Amino acid sequence: MKPIRAKILVLHGYNDPVTPQAELRTFEEEMDQRACDWQVHLYGSTLHAFATPTAQDPTSGVLYNPVSAARAWKEVGVFLEEVLGLSQVEK
């Protein structure tokens, strides 16, 4: 497998039925095999599209979670500061 040189950040709802934990684990294993600099942050009690305020359909597995969204935006800021040297991220 060819290495991936890009840094990758994944922000994932632990209870996401759209991309279940088994798929996430497969992704993690592939990133590791490709010697990629990657990180995954899981947010408990959180479904798919948790950072999208209009995501309001829990029966299909998508639901906005303002607490998880705020935490995820902080991680985006940390990631962009590291990767691009940006000190602030606007939502």
Structure tokens belonging to residue 67: 């607490």
Q: Which two tokens stand for residue 2?
A: 């060819």
- H or E stretch including 48? none
Q: Which helix (H) or strand (E) holds 33?
A: helix 21-33
DSSP state of 20: -
Instruction: Give the confidence band of 90 by pLDDT, cuts at 50, 70, 90.
Output: low
CB 77 within 8 A of CB 88: yes
CA distance 43 to 65: 10
Q: Given pLDDT bands bounded at 50, 70 and 90, which one contains residue 86?
A: confident
Q: Write the pLDDT tens digit of every residue in 25-51.
A: 999 999 999 999 999 999 999 999 999
Q: Where are the domains of the chain?
A: 7-84
pLDDT over 90 for what percent of the chain?
A: 91
